[in-house]
């Protein structure tokens, strides 16, 4: 539960239809097994104490009495477990019979939620036996909350809130879960008995994923399985755990197994705070419970590269879409400004390579020749033959106009003008070159009636790894919301789909070239300045950016997730070292992000001051640094 992770389970057990004693024992046994695995919220299927398929036996007092006795015994025997257990059974209330979910915790029934939408079609005839609940929330004779508007809330972790709906409720035009989410439920539990048939599993999964995305919630779906009557139907025990549109865990069909994972309620609460459609609605019954915060072992997938899709097919389609968004954004800007050319500085590195590919595509969309793209190489003290050659090959393969402007003499003159020694390899030495390059590009753009296309990426913006009014500045930055780890995949995708042999050769070597600004003198003709040696691995910084900024995680939580994701790749000391660097630079370099050029948003994380990220340039990082300093693990 620490850091907002709640280990949840959707649990199907083998039952015997109408045998409440047997079913009770199976539920209790499974509950203890789940608790030993660290589960703190376990959901069992609809009517699991009796079985969903009892038909007219639901009218029998003997069955109903047996079910209630079983519920009470489950409640008492699970008293010692610090785990919410939610169980389905038939329940009599004021002369009517309801299909309900009972929420149990530490020897108490916290609340009873009746089903609202009863199926009455095809093989389902629930309305023959049960009454749909259409009222609000009342209390039973035992002073137990009974109704549809109950929000269950953990006192120790305010983000841990949940509501309950049952099976058909999810299929309704306005599911109860929609209203429960608006009332504050971050997790929705669904007790179900969904029969299996061809194509239904895929539809069911899509429905649960979509509802969790729409509600920005966790969704735990537990369905009936082995032991239900097969007189006319079969039940597969399809269990799902979803979080904001993503399936975290899914059981196999006909396996009578549990789906277990961890829902991040702090992440959900953070996203809802940003979404103004989620308003405070106090028109609900809140039931509070105490649960000690404990460590939760993670089993859910945490990507090392969160900006990059996991599967190859999805990765390729994402690359195609991003390239299209970049090129169409630039197309509009060129069109609107009546620019005769697009001017871009080419270094032979990944960032400028991607920007050039996008710029050529933009000209193609405008039905203009590639020669309207003016690519400028500007060799200086740190430029190596390898990068210069790759830049020239790339331009030749794409058919753009190539200009070479050696800036060495201009920079030397500038150093002479300001009294800076050529032996002093400080930041003045480096930034003098970067600013001279930008001046050259701007003036060539004036010469040719063009726009300067920026090459800097999202990772560099986050770290402030850009020379202010040097590579920091352009007239349109096509890479501004593309992180460094993703840029490599975009270039690789372009290389893979290209049929141009020279282009593939150039792109292949660019992909193999170390990331470097090449501002310090080369050693024996090789790159002497490797960015990741200086500022840290970009895969770590992109991980920190995505989790710390996109989801608002605390530094302690980011560190925990990084240890989990990069286990075996980086040791804890290395992760902590670069985490400190990330937060220090992220705060100190905001002034560069406060005056960014325009550029297209292509993903959920951007740092544009005009949209997704607004931060005072002189904000202190004291709170974040204090938490980092307290990390001892």
Confirm whether 569 is domain-assigned: yes
Q: What pLDDT does 283 receive?
A: 76
CATH at residue 168: 3.60.110.10
Q: Is 540 part of a structural domain of the chain?
A: yes
Is 107 found in the same domain as 246? yes
- Please provide the DSSP assignment of 84-140 as one string: EEEEEEEEEETTEEEEEEEEEETTEEEEEEE------STT--GGGT-----S-EEE-
SS in 3 state form for 342-385? EEEECCCCHHHHHHHHHHHHHHHHCCCCHHHEEEEECCCCCCCH
The verdict on residue 566 lying in a domain is yes
Q: Is 620 domain-assigned?
A: yes
Q: What range defines the domain where residue 272 resides?
A: 2-289
User: What tokens does 585 get?
Assistant: 């630079």
Between CA 244 and CA 219 the distance in angstroms is: 8
* Integer Cα distance of 83 and 271 in angstroms: 26
**The overall pTM is greater than 0.85:** yes
**128/262 same-domain check:** yes
Q: Quote the pLDDT of residue 62.
A: 98
Q: What integer pLDDT is reported at residue 498 of this predicted model?
A: 93
Out of 289, 304, 338, pick the residue that ends a domain: 289
Spatial separation of the C-alpha atoms in residues 133 and 147, rounded to whole Å: 8
Do residue 284 and residue 335 come from a single domain?
no
Q: Are residues 277 and 424 in the same domain?
A: no
CA distance 359 to 174: 46
User: Quick one: 242 and 319 in the same domain?
Assistant: no
Dist CA 530 CA 507 (whole Å):
19
Element (H, E) at 387: helix 385-398
Q: Are residues 279 and 346 in the same domain?
A: no
Task: Examine the domain organization and report whether 170 and 319 are in the same domain.
Answer: no
Q: Name the token pair of 87.
A: 């169980």
What are the helix (H) ranges across 15-80? 20-36, 61-77
- Say if 497 falls within a structural domain: yes
Phi-psi region of 222 (alpha: psi -120 to 50; beta: other; left: phi over 0): beta
* Residues classed as catalytic: 46, 115, 167
Number of domains in the chain: 2
pLDDT of residue 388: 85
Q: Show the low-confidence residues of the chain (pLDDT under 50).
A: none
3-state secondary structure (DSSP) of residue 570: coil
Are residues 334 and 235 both part of a single domain?
no
Distance of alpha carbon 102 from alpha carbon 114, whole angstroms: 9
CATH number of residue 470's parent domain = 3.40.50.620
Q: What is the pLDDT of residues 348-388, one digit of tens each?
A: 889 999 999 999 999 999 999 999 999 999 998 887 888 88
Beta bridge partners of 164: 189
Domain assignment of residue 240, yes or no: yes
**Residue 300, domain member (yes or no):** no
- Pair 267, 347 in one domain: no
Through-space distance between the first and last CA atoms of the chain, rounded to whole angstroms? 18
Residue 299 lies in a domain: no
Are residues 63 and 188 part of one domain? yes
Distance CA 258, CA 260 (A): 6
Final residue in a domain of this structure, among 254, 289, 324? 289
* In a shared domain, residues 431 and 533: yes
Q: What does the pLDDT read at residue 173?
A: 92
Q: State the Cα–Cα distance between residues 350 and 357, nearest whole angstrom.
A: 11
Q: Are residues 398 and 273 in the same domain?
A: no
């Amino acid at each position: 539960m620490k850091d907002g992770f709640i280990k949840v389970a959707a649990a199907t057990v083998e039952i015997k239809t109408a045998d409440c004693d047997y079913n009770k024992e199976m539920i209790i046994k499974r509950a203890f097994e789940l608790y030993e695995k660290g589960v703190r919220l376990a959901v069992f299927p609809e009517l699991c104490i009796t079985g969903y398929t009892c038909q007219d036996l639901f009218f029998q007092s003997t069955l109903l009495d047996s079910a209630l006795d079983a519920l009470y015994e489950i409640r008492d025997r699970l008293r010692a477990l610090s785990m919410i257990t939610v169980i389905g059974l038939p329940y009599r209330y004021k002369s009517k019979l309801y299909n309900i979910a009972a929420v149990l915790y530490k020897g108490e029934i916290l609340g009873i939620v009746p089903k609202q939408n009863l199926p009455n079609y095809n093989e389902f005839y629930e309305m023959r036996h049960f009454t749909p609940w259409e009222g609000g929330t009342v209390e039973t004779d035992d002073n137990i909350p009974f109704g549809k508007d109950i929000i269950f809330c953990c006192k120790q972790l305010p983000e841990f809130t949940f509501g309950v709906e049952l099976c058909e409720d999810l299929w309704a035009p306005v599911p109860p879960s929609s209203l429960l989410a608006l009332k504050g439920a971050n997790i929705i539990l669904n007790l179900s008995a969904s029969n299996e048939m061809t194509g239904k599993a895929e539809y069911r999964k899509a429905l649960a994923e979509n509802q969790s995305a729409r509600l920005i919630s966790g969704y735990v779906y537990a369905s009936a399985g082995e032991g239900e009557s097969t007189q006319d139907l079969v039940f597969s025990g399809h269990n799902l755990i979803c979080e904001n549109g993503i399936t975290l865990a899914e059981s196999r069909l006909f396996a009578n197994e549990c789906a277990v994972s961890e829902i991040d309620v702090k992440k959900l609460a953070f996203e809802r705070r940003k979404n103004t459609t989620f308003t405070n609605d106090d028109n609900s019954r809140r039931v509070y419970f105490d649960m000690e915060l404990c460590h939760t072992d993670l089993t859910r997938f945490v990507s090392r590269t969160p900006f990059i899709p996991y599967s190859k097919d999805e990765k390729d389609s994402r690359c195609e879409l991003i390239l299209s968004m970049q090129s169409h954004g630039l197309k509009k800007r060129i069109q609107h400004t009546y620019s005769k050319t697009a001017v871009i500085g080419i270094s032979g590195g990944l960032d400028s390579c991607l920007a050039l590919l996008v710029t050529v595509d933009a000209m193609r969309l405008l039905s203009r020749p590639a020669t309207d793209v003016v690519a400028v190489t500007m060799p200086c003290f740190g430029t190596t033959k390898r990068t210069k050659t790759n830049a020239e090959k790339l331009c030749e393969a794409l058919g753009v106009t190539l200009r070479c402007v050696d800036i060495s003499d201009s920079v030397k003159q500038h150093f002479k003008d300001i009294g800076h020694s050529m032996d002093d390899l400080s930041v003045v030495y480096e930034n003098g070159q970067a600013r001279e390059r930008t001046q050259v590009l701007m003036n060539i753009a004036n010469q040719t009636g063009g726009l300067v296309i920026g090459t800097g990426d999202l990772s560099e913006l986050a770290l402030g790894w850009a020379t202010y009014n040097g590579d920091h500045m352009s007239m349109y930055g096509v890479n501004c919301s593309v992180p460094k780890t993703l840029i490599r995949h975009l270039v690789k995708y372009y290389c893979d789909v290209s049929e141009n042999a020279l282009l593939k050769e150039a792109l292949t070597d660019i992909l193999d070239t170390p990331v470097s600004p090449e501002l310090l003198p080369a050693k024996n003709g090789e790159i002497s300045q490797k960015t990741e040696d200086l500022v840290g691995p970009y895969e770590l910084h992109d991980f920190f950016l995505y989790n710390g900024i996109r989801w608002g995680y605390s530094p302690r939580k980011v560190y925990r997730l990084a240890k989990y994701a990069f286990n075996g790749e980086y040791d804890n000391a290395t992760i902590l070292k670069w985490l400190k660097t990330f937060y220090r630079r992220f705060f100190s370099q905001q002034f560069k992000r406060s005056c960014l050029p325009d550029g297209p948003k292509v993903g959920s994380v951007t740092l544009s001051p005009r949209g997704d990220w607004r931060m005072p340039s002189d904000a202190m990082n004291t709170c974040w640094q204090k938490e980092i300093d307290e990390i001892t693990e």
